[in-house]
Chain A
């Protein structure tokens, strides 16, 4: 009898290990608005399911935090590896930026970061701050909704032409078009699990930065992203910067494994509100800065 009881308990215990509790379920059964669980850990190898074909749809999060130290692959921490291949103009721009983060950070009252004034971050900086997204798609496009500041961008996948980059804008079908905070993005499926995206036509360097630590980005940049669906729960998101105005050569900024989140998640919003920024500075930022 004792042996059977032990076998039963061992079996129940083993079953609990073999059949994982639904990875999304960290809420009580009575909760109708699931709490955000943006840091869901990667799925164990034995539990991985095959990647679906040609879809990026889902709520995606990472365990990176807010990337306060700068772009994921080259954080601005003072190490030799963090030194970017600046052109002389690029270095001049960096030194003019008074950032709130990174090795050359300044107190809140002395920053000139556009983010501190609730200017749009611009692309690709939205990839380098507090990254969490929802992705929807149809036969014509992929739409990425960024959680930070409730922004969205569109990647056209319907075979349209890629814009020609000009000084101060782009040319599309023979017409001059304006610069945009998210630029103009065109994507193509290189195989059933990889979407490659090119973006040009972003804002000039006096309006946007590359990351929170003050690295610059110009309107002559060409950004290449790849979205690789590695398995059902994992999307590897990579980005390469090619900006000859501020960097002497292309370099890779990120390669982030994003994890699929519960699609019912109610994401906490994070708007940039000038009112709230002002209140923060009055309550903390100015005094903490010695103002």
Chain B
């Protein structure tokens, strides 16, 4: 069952413009070209190759809690965008914009993250098939 997601427009132009964006390599059969924004609580943050993984619990409007697992690139790729091994701790409140997987499961690729203190962490860069590498 999918929880209802709240769509929020976050502005992170300043940060995203100041760091080089990593080309987004969405597979046409894996990721949706739309984005969704998740507000949730961090469960785990895995700082590892080949992809860093953020697990968070998202409560929908219906009160159901869904666990999402969303990925970023490898540590050395997302380091310039501000991510660190200790960027997230269990219990942190975060807002994550993702390209969800096309099969409807609660998985996806991080576009960017806004922490509770308002800090924005750049993400995977350009979205969608055919987007220019940056």
A284: B residues at CB distance < 8 A: 51, 53, 69, 71, 107
Residues of the A chain whose Cβ atoms lie less than 8 Å from the Cβ of B74: 66, 130, 270
When distances are taken between beta carbons in the complex, the residues of chain A under 8 Å from B71 are 284, 288
**Cα–Cα distance between A63 and B22 once the two chains are bound (Å):** 8
Q: Bin chain B's interface residue count.
A: 35 or more
CA distance A61 to B74 in the complex (A): 17
Interface size class of A (residues with CB under 8 A): 35 or more
Q: Please, which residues of chain A bring their CB within 8 A of the CB of B60? A: none
Least distance between A234 CB and chain B CB atoms (Å):
16
- Which residues between 1 and 51 of chain A lie within 8 Å of chain B, taking CB atoms? 35-39
How many contacting A-B pairs (Cβ < 8 A)?
A: 116
Pick the contact of A105: B30, B46, B79, B108 (CB < 8 A). Answer: B30
What residues of chain B lie closer than 8 Å to A277, measured between beta carbons? 50
Whether the pair B133, A102 counts as a contact (CB closer than 8 A) is no
Q: Which residues of B contact A288 (CB under 8 A)?
A: 30, 71, 101, 103, 105, 107-108
Output the nearest chain A residue to B76 by Cβ-Cβ distance.
A268
Interface residues of A in 244-291 (CB under 8 A from B): 267-273, 276-277, 279-280, 283-284, 287-290
Provide the residues of chain A in CB contact with B29, threshold 8 Å.
Answer: 105-107
What is A's interface to B at a CB cutoff of 8 Å?
35-39, 63-69, 72, 75, 77-79, 100-108, 130, 147, 212, 267-273, 276-277, 279-280, 283-284, 287-290
4 A-B pairs with the lowest CB-CB distances in the bound complex, closest first: A105-B27, A68-B25, A65-B22, A268-B76
For this complex, 8 residue pairs linking A to B, each with C-beta atoms less than 8 Å apart, are: A36-B76, A64-B133, A66-B73, A77-B130, A100-B27, A103-B28, A287-B107, A288-B107
